[in-house]
Amino acid sequence: MSVHAKRTWTGAVRDRAVSALPPEKLLADKQPSYVASWIYVFGVLSLSSLAVIILSGSILALKGPGWWHFTGVGHFFNSIHLWSVELFFFFMVIHLWGKYWMAAWRGGRARVWITGAVTFLVAIPCALTGYVSQQNFDSQWISTQAKDAINASGLGAFFNLLNFGQMYSYHVLLLPAAVVALVIAHVLLVRNHGVVPPFRLADKLPAVAEPATVDGGAAGPEASS
């Protein structure tokens, strides 16, 4: 890294980013040997569901909020959107429970847990604004019922569930942007810290440390960091 580059803010940001997440960490092609359980699949399934949500939601947004009510194709993509949301929450809940039972915050990974938990919490109003943006009876009922809780909190002054325009803006831009930003932060933190190692079993294992090999060969990225 040149001295000249470090004099700039850009250079400082780049140096810090590359230091925290070198390419071999960001897109690792090897992982710790203990990552061998179906429970690890639910993180990527949550991400995949989110990708389908964004894809189907983008198509619905391109055609406008009324499109799906009067066209078969629109209804098809609305159904894709609905089921991907249901799968997203289903997989995310299993992912969270899995990480809880692994105590995945160990070893300086508290921020990984917190970003995951906040993502779940922000996804809830993101879904709620979707339900009240449907422009059907369901949205009428949910908005008129949920307004009392929002009003009781004082947030009703800024977040009016009965205002379709405001809810639609929250649903297609503000809250999805927050969810995606949180997910990116979460994934980058996972790549930076690595997957939490198993608990040591004092009666079976001498220590966390084992011979550092990949398929009996070279050392992994975390071993070398």
Partner 1 sequence: MTRRERRRREDESYRTWNGSYRRYDLVKEASIAFGVILALTVVLTILFSSPDEHPSTVQSWSHGDPVDFVTTAATELDGSSTSGSYGPPYNHASGSVQHAWFLHPQRWFGVSHPVNSAQDFVLAPLRAITGQPALQSAVSTYETASANQQAAWTSAYEKGLNKASATSAGSISVPTGNYGPLTTMMPALLTFAQSGGLDGALLTSKQFYQTDYTKPLLFMADGGVLSNRAQAEHLLGSQWGIMNETGSYPGQVWLWLYTFWYQIAPFQGANADILVLLVMGALSLAFMLVPFLPGIRDIPRWIPIYKLIWRVHYRAASARTAAPTSS
CB count, 10 Å around CB of 27?
9
Are 220 and 211 spatial neighbours (Cβ–Cβ below 8 Å)?
Answer: no
CA angle, 16 then 19 then 22, to 5°:
125
Position 190 contacts partner 1 (CB under 8 A): no
**Residue of 14, 89, 188, 190 that binds partner 1 (CB under 8 A):** 89
* C-alpha distances in Å from residue 123, one per residue of 85, 139, 171: 10, 18, 10
Position 67 contacts partner 1 (CB under 8 A): no
User: In the bound complex, what is the minimum distance in angstroms from residue 21's beta carbon to partner 1?
Assistant: 13
Which one of 7-15, 16-24, 134-142, 174-182 is the stretch in contact with partner 1 (CB under 8 A)? 134-142
User: In the bound complex, what is the minimum distance in angstroms from residue 112's beta carbon to partner 1?
Assistant: 9
* Of residues 8 and 144, the one with the C-beta less far from partner 1: 144
Position 202 contacts partner 1 (CB under 8 A): no
Tokens of 218: 């070279």
Position 29 contacts partner 1 (CB under 8 A): yes
Which parts of 144-163 interact with partner 1 (CB under 8 A)? 144-146, 148-149, 151-158, 160, 162-163
* Beta carbons within 8 Å of 187's beta carbon, 6+ residues apart: 47
User: In the bound complex, what is the minimum distance in angstroms from residue 205's beta carbon to partner 1?
Assistant: 5
Position 98 contacts partner 1 (CB under 8 A): yes
Position 58 contacts partner 1 (CB under 8 A): no
Position 17 contacts partner 1 (CB under 8 A): no
Cα four-point dihedral sign 152, 157, 161, 167: negative
Q: Report the amino acid identity of residue 123.
A: A
* C-alpha distances in Å from residue 134, one per residue of 5, 9, 123, 162: 51, 45, 17, 12
Residue 88 exposure: Cα atoms within 13 Å on the Cβ side: 23
User: In the bound complex, what is the minimum distance in angstroms from residue 6's beta carbon to partner 1?
Assistant: 27
**Residue of 25, 126, 134, 186 that binds partner 1 (CB under 8 A):** 134
User: In the bound complex, what is the minimum distance in angstroms from residue 58's beta carbon to partner 1?
Assistant: 14
Q: Report the amino acid identity of residue 82.
A: L
